[in-house]
A and B are shown apart, each in its own frame.
Chain A
């Protein structure tokens, strides 16, 4: 049982390049989230989804786009990467609100 899997684990981008981070969960969870973790800032919500085909903005959505075409996958896109997007990105899925969130192992992204 894989749980939540993030791809890739590491990536270095040049400023202006684009990329997509993939999050896949095998627990049939409805809700999926993308967070970023920066030193001293904790986990900040970028975008989230409450079901297949739905997305919503979180606390820090600028510069990111997301899609949830299939229930098990939640994609995070960076159209034109900036050094400020250097961070560790975590995906999480939740069966329902007021239940625990399961996190992936993280993607460490460096934008140079």
Chain B
């Protein structure tokens, strides 16, 4: 059973607009969440994270929102740029020796 779900396999957005990528989780023990970006033929690279004690974290154009009661997080990219076109993975972990659990990813295409 999937513990981290990204229900949208793909998303297309126009350059300059907002991109919103969604992620849901089922394990209530998860308390730390991360987003990774992956370009073709490269390894995933860390983008932004959020602890369960917060409901928002910003880093430049990237903001992650966490709704613990809904077990939902989202990544907002504003403004979207063509270089943001990639696959985005949501990941979660918890205290203790719990490895990162990844969602299936969402392919973002930013159209110029």
- Chain A residues proximal to chain B, CB less than 8 Å: 4, 31, 33, 35, 40-45, 48, 50, 56, 58, 90, 92, 94, 97-98, 100-106
Contacts and interface: CB of A to CB of B under 8 A. Distances in A.
Counting chain A CB atoms within 10 Å of each CB, which of B43, B93, B103, B104 scores highest? B43
Given A33-B100, A40-B104, A58-B99, A97 B9 contact: no
Contacts of A31: 99
In order of increasing CB-CB distance, the 7 nearest A-B pairs are: A103-B43, A42-B104, A100-B46, A43-B102, A98-B32, A103-B44, A48-B99
B64 to A, nearest CB: 13
Contacts, number: 61
Given A33-B99, A45-B101, A58-B99, A101 B46 contact: yes
B34 A97 contact: no
Interface residues of B, number: 28
A48 B51 CA distance: 23
A37 to B, nearest CB: 9
Nearest to A41: B104
B43 A50 contact: no
B48 to A, nearest CB: 9
Contacts of B102: 35, 42-44
Given A42-B89, A43-B89, A98-B93, A90 B104 contact: no
A11 B95 CA distance: 36
Given A40-B9, A90-B44, A97 B104 contact: no
Contacts of A103: 36, 43-45
B41 interface: yes
